[in-house]
A and B are shown apart, each in its own frame.
Chain A
């Protein structure tokens, strides 16, 4: 019979696509991807058809028309005569400011709380436990509104700062805390201030070189330099010397009460403070748990071994525990940073003009371009998140276990 004496490399038959295990998975994948494509085509088609039925086209031309509205917090200049695209950019910068500052503050609080929660002091560790649970288990929006309500209801109005009013400025009349925000002095950059800044930046770079030199020296000779004191000195002294040598070129413009509001200085708006604090406090609770988990993940044997080698507790923490704990802490920290950035879109609740409020709020409302606006907004958050996570991954590959 021909079939029985068939050669081992028989010709491909169509039925093999279904009955031959070698090809079956391929068949299923091809069919599944065709179905998914059809579904997507149908969705896009449906959207376009329905939008056309409503008489709406998809167009991004609205970005180049006049915005017509004003934005209170501007990092780059903006007037109501600028375009919607520039309004979106102002919003993007506001989002980034609150996200970056939020990540920094959340990390500082988170690390502190995480370490303190492991403290042997019963009261401290329990207090930190209460903090973490209270923050983690309530919605972020509530914290934003609470901070905002405290900032607007419990602080004095600017007019209270007038003669005979009940409020006064703090820190030698340089800072005013009002229900419209905190007014802080603004640095005035006089002639020669660039030189002071340059000296300062140089000394910061110098600190890095100093530390590298100190490490090399210690590895070669075993001598330790007082790195902390030398760094601190390098940080302050050259810049201060330059500052006074050049005749104090950097001045301060203090906030002053004029008309309805304070003028001069920098106004840190309540909406910003509420969003920044609430985002930081909320995210710090999650970071604290990451930190605690990371430290607990390092076995006790490491500590004991390091003690046996004669290292003191703080050197043990610094040289043995933390470098290993960071490997556990960094990956979940990335997602906390991403969460914080995306959660900043709750800004609209307190009227902080982030990109969700400008592009995704007023612009959409004034132009009626919901789909386009939301698409742009989605793409912005996506790109931002990808950039943050790629930077953090870079750092992660720096601290992760090096296999040699």
Chain B
């Protein structure tokens, strides 16, 4: 009986592990769709609209990769994953790439055998409380009840923050952002904590967003980025350089509006020419054709366009560029050269 159980578990793991042997790029091409692990629903980052079409900041990166590899930004199958299941799903080959507000940490990169291929959003953990509580600093939260998504880095940061400041709290673990939102609004917890971008996105969906404040403390560094399985370097290159392309395109002034015009004939800027395939063979080096960048930019636009369209200050989420501005504007976005 006991043996059966052990072997059953091993069999399950064995079968799951067996599925990820071939190169991910070949799998994606053979399947004709990209399986993108995404959030179960976080406004502005990844959420289906009224027609069931997924939209958002993270979703755009999935679509960009699909446009690069398959030529069709719509050829993406979005697999909603909870914070608990995401890495297991990726490791088991259920998704090709995980773009789900996942923080790049040492242990995930090494021990979990995952590869983070860059940062698409520089975030930090914050706290949201109701304005009527009259709290102005996270250090005043002694004894508060805190809703926290279980299985996240924020769970560990939270424990550290309260321990270091020598104040107590009561954690209320929730499985998803939606559940956390419901608990917080029902008043079952005083504080909701997650990445500040997530707090802003959640607050944007509230009936009265003005009744809630995000406290000034940023208690952690949360570089969020796309994740692939360790060891499949060709696929990792494609994911990483698609992200770099979006960032470089903004820096070089390539937009969805002017990309066709810039790609029609070589321009005065050699890097633009190399990216858009009018000079050199950069696409072939990754196993793609030379128009891959044109397809990506015309499908989703550059990083700045993606940001402004989904989470920028004109949207309900209303995030400022902050750290996520180009390095030329005092931000941290810095794509390596396309050469």
The residue from A53, A152, A351, A382 contacting B17, defined by CB atoms under 8 A apart: A53
Q: State A375–B2 Cα separation when bound (angstroms).
A: 10
Chain A positions within 8 Å of B155 at CB level = 69, 362, 366
Assess the B145–A374 pair: CB atoms within 8 A.
Answer: no
Assess the A260–B143 pair: CB atoms within 8 A.
Answer: yes
Closest A residue by C-beta to B91 = A54
Is the CB of B7 closer than 8 A to any CB of chain A? yes
A-B contact count (CB 8 A): 141
Closest A residue by C-beta to B144 = A260
Query: In chain A between 17 and 69, which residues have their CB closer than 8 angstroms to a CB of chain B?
Result: 40, 43-44, 46-47, 50-51, 53-56, 68-69
Is the CB of A379 closer than 8 A to any CB of chain B? yes
> Known: A69-B155, A375-B6, A382-B1. Is A349-B11 also a contact (CB below 8 A)?
no
The residue from B112, B163, B170 contacting A80, defined by CB atoms under 8 A apart: B163
Closest B residue by C-beta to A151 = B188
Assess the B151–A43 pair: CB atoms within 8 A.
Answer: no
Is the CB of A153 closer than 8 A to any CB of chain B? yes
The residue from B1, B13, B84, B145 contacting A361, defined by CB atoms under 8 A apart: B84
Q: How far is the CB of A284 from chain B (nearest CB, A)?
A: 27
The residue from B7, B20, B174, B229 contacting A40, defined by CB atoms under 8 A apart: B7
Assess the B151–A366 pair: CB atoms within 8 A.
Answer: yes
Assess the A54–B143 pair: CB atoms within 8 A.
Answer: no
The residue from B13, B111, B172 contacting A371, defined by CB atoms under 8 A apart: B13
Q: How far is the CB of B299 from chain A (nearest CB, A)?
A: 32
Query: In chain B between 156 and 188, which residues have their CB closer than 8 angstroms to a CB of chain A?
Result: 156, 158-160, 162-163, 169-175, 183, 186-188
Closest A residue by C-beta to B230 = A55
The residue from A271, A362, A378 contacting B6, defined by CB atoms under 8 A apart: A378
Q: How far is the CB of A119 from chain B (nearest CB, A)?
A: 40
The residue from B20, B190, B230 contacting A260, defined by CB atoms under 8 A apart: B190
Of B7, B13, B87, which is in contact with the most chain A CB atoms at under 10 Å from its CB? B13
Q: State A228–B292 Cα separation when bound (angstroms).
A: 87
The residue from A53, A70, A370 contacting B159, defined by CB atoms under 8 A apart: A70
Q: State A81–B10 Cα separation when bound (angstroms).
A: 31
Query: In chain B between 1 and 41, which residues have their CB closer than 8 angstroms to a CB of chain A?
Result: 1-3, 5-7, 9-11, 13-14, 17-18, 20-21
Chain A positions within 8 Å of B143 at CB level = 258-261, 263
Chain A positions within 8 Å of B14 at CB level = 43, 46-47, 50
Chain A positions within 8 Å of B171 at CB level = 69-72
Q: State A80–B155 Cα separation when bound (angstroms).
A: 10
Of B2, B7, B158, B187, which is in contact with the most chain A CB atoms at under 10 Å from its CB? B187
Is the CB of B142 closer than 8 A to any CB of chain A? yes
**Binary per-residue interface labels of chain B (136-161) against chain A in the complex, 1 for a CB within 8 Å, 0 otherwise:** 00000111110000110001101110
Assess the A361–B170 pair: CB atoms within 8 A.
Answer: no
Q: How large is the interface on A (under 10, 10 to 19, 20 to 34, 35 or more residues)?
A: 35 or more
Is the CB of A396 closer than 8 A to any CB of chain B? no
Q: How far is the CB of A29 from chain B (nearest CB, A)?
A: 18
Is the CB of B212 closer than 8 A to any CB of chain A? no
Closest A residue by C-beta to B187 = A157
Is the CB of A303 closer than 8 A to any CB of chain B? no
**Binary per-residue interface labels of chain B (77-90) against chain A in the complex, 1 for a CB within 8 Å, 0 otherwise:** 00000011001100
Assess the B7–A43 pair: CB atoms within 8 A.
Answer: yes
Q: State A271–B189 Cα separation when bound (angstroms).
A: 13
Assess the B173–A353 pair: CB atoms within 8 A.
Answer: yes
> Known: A43-B14, A351-B172, A368-B112. Is A80-B160 also a contact (CB below 8 A)?
yes
Chain B positions within 8 Å of A157 at CB level = 187
Is the CB of A290 closer than 8 A to any CB of chain B? no
Q: List 6 A-B contacts (CB under 8 A).
A: A46-B14, A54-B113, A157-B187, A368-B91, A370-B88, A375-B6
A residues neighboring B (CB under 8 Å): 40, 43-44, 46-47, 50-51, 53-56, 68-72, 79-81, 152-153, 157, 159, 179-180, 258-261, 263, 270-271, 348-349, 351, 353, 357, 361-362, 365-368, 370-371, 374-375, 378-379, 382
B residues neighboring A (CB under 8 Å): 1-3, 5-7, 9-11, 13-14, 17-18, 20-21, 83-84, 87-88, 91, 107-108, 111-113, 133, 141-145, 150-151, 155-156, 158-160, 162-163, 169-175, 183, 186-190, 229-231
Going nearest first, the 8 A-B pairs with the smallest beta carbon separation are: A50-B17, A365-B151, A80-B159, A47-B14, A157-B187, A368-B112, A46-B14, A351-B173
Q: Besides the contacts A50-B17, A55-B113, A260-B141, what 7 more A-B pairs have beta carbons closer than 8 Å? A: A40-B3, A46-B18, A80-B160, A259-B144, A348-B175, A357-B150, A368-B108
